[in-house]
Chains A and B, each alone.
Chain A
Amino acid sequence: MKVMIAAPLRSYTGERSQIEADGATLAEILADLDRRYPGIRFRMIDEQDAIRRHMRIFVNGEQARGLDAALRASDEVIILQALSGG
């Protein structure tokens, strides 16, 4: 499955903005990402399995609110940083 990676996380992916990951749910995709790029998951998902306040994950253009959504191999996952600053 194609996963688009936000700029702040590309230090984990060798600066690649688009990578592949496998899984039937968003949780599985993120677990696979963490296997391939250790540490990346905790930067965007907290220890209670919630998406961090300033991160956003979209599946086929729809914002995901949790990690349970079922996915198909043809789906597109986009991981973005929300607007924040200071």
Chain B
Amino acid sequence: MKSKTRAIAALPAAAAGPVALLVATRKGAFILKSDKGRRAWTTNGPMFFGHIVHHMLLDPRDRRTLLAAARTGHLGPTLFRSTDFGKTWKEASKPPAFPKAAAGQKGRVVDHTFWLTPGHAGEPGAWYAGTSPQGLFRSEDGGDTWAPVSGFNDHPMYASWTGGEQDGTPDGPKLHSINVDPRDARHLYIGMSSGGVFESTDKGANWTPLNQGCAADFLPDPNPEYGHDVHCLRLHPLAPDILYQQNHCGLYRMERAGARWVRVGTAMPGKVGDIGFPLVLHPRDPATLWVFPMDGTSVWPRTSPGGKPASYVSRNAGKSWQRQDGGLPREQGWFTVKRQAMSADAHDPVGVYFGTTSGEVWASRNEGAKWSCIARHLPHIYAVEAAELAR
């Protein structure tokens, strides 16, 4: 695919108002709200108490609509929608679901909706959802009704690309990291655990694997076309021809025209490694990104290496990394931070936030230089999404 050359809009102005953190947990959802200076935080919730909430997002196009993906241990998966920033909620009238299989054939069942992405800015009301097992769904009406994206879900290569039930996370195989090119609503990227990165240039009708250069050391083929384990895939809205990926097998960057992943995690300290789940981009600087390393050695503890939690920031597109552990535990801090559980606001300096599976939310008002715990004793956190309450 040729690189797109159309210019991206001018640098967005930094936000200045209070911030909301949309926190999705294993036992419900919470909204943490800051004051204007992002110094004081209040915790509101739980909403959907007892539900397993995998993701909650604000629609950046109207800045009022929230979507939350939920299920319980007993009840099937659904979505809730609020048009008044969480004051009231209404269940989606047609949540993501695979089509009914023909008689005698085994059909797929959505276990849970895992990932939500607002559609293109020029498509108000459009949303995408990724599910477990891997499925891509689209809504045209603000998340009320959802239809399968057949071009992916029914692709002749679907079974090969996605593998089986064993080819996924301990919580099931997942489709996630749905990225929409801000220049072209038809241009989509997705990531899968497992399956790899895939691209569509026709709004999901056809898909192509995009995994060259990315390791998959759990497969016998050293350079497979697909089957990789993407943990988080991001494109920057100001430089959408550059992709970053936190993978099960390291940290990568791709210049789309070259169509090859380059491992930028090799510049991380050897004792820390470049394994982790989330990857966060600076809202105004495409060369700045944050990660939160996890221990991916031996039996994969998936905790902060050595019990010493830290974020790492790169200011030069992954060429070098700086450790950021100010305010974090110096020892015996066995944090696990999941792939949706770290995000950034749009202030200057940028606020960076993460949540742990042990129910703590940490915030930095200065781009990771100093961290403070702003909530503790919450349930197991799946997602922390920052939203601006005023711009």
Contacts and interface: CB of A to CB of B under 8 A. Distances in A.
Given A46-B109, A47-B110, A8 B101 contact: no
A48 B107 contact: yes
B53 to A, nearest CB: 15
Contacts of B93: 38-39
B98 interface: yes
A52 B74 contact: yes
Chain B interface size, as a band, is: 20 to 34
Contacts, number: 54
A48 B109 contact: yes
Nearest to A53: B74
Interface in A1-60: 6, 8-9, 38-39, 42-50, 52, 54-55
B9 interface: no
Taking chain A's interface residues, is the majority helix, strand, or loop, or is none over half, making it mixed? loop
B101 A42 contact: no
B109 A55 contact: no
Contact of A8 (B74, B92, B109): B74
Contact of A44 (B73, B75, B98): B75
B73 A54 contact: yes
A47 B74 contact: no
A36 to B, nearest CB: 14
A55 B93 CA distance: 21
B73 A47 contact: no
B78 interface: yes
A32 to B, nearest CB: 17
A43 B76 contact: yes
A86 interface: yes
Interface in B69-96: 72-76, 78, 91-93, 95
B2 interface: no
B377 interface: no
Interface string B253-284: 00000000000000000000000000000000
A61 interface: no
A42 B100 contact: no
Nearest to A38: B93
B164 interface: no
A84 B73 contact: yes
Complex A-B, nearest 8 residue pairs according to Cβ-Cβ distance, in ascending order:
A47-B97, A43-B75, A48-B107, A81-B74, A54-B74, A46-B109, A43-B76, A84-B73
Given A39-B93, A47-B109, A48-B106, 12 more contacts: A8-B75, A42-B78, A44-B75, A45-B76, A47-B97, A47-B100, A49-B100, A54-B73, A55-B74, A55-B75, A81-B74, A84-B73
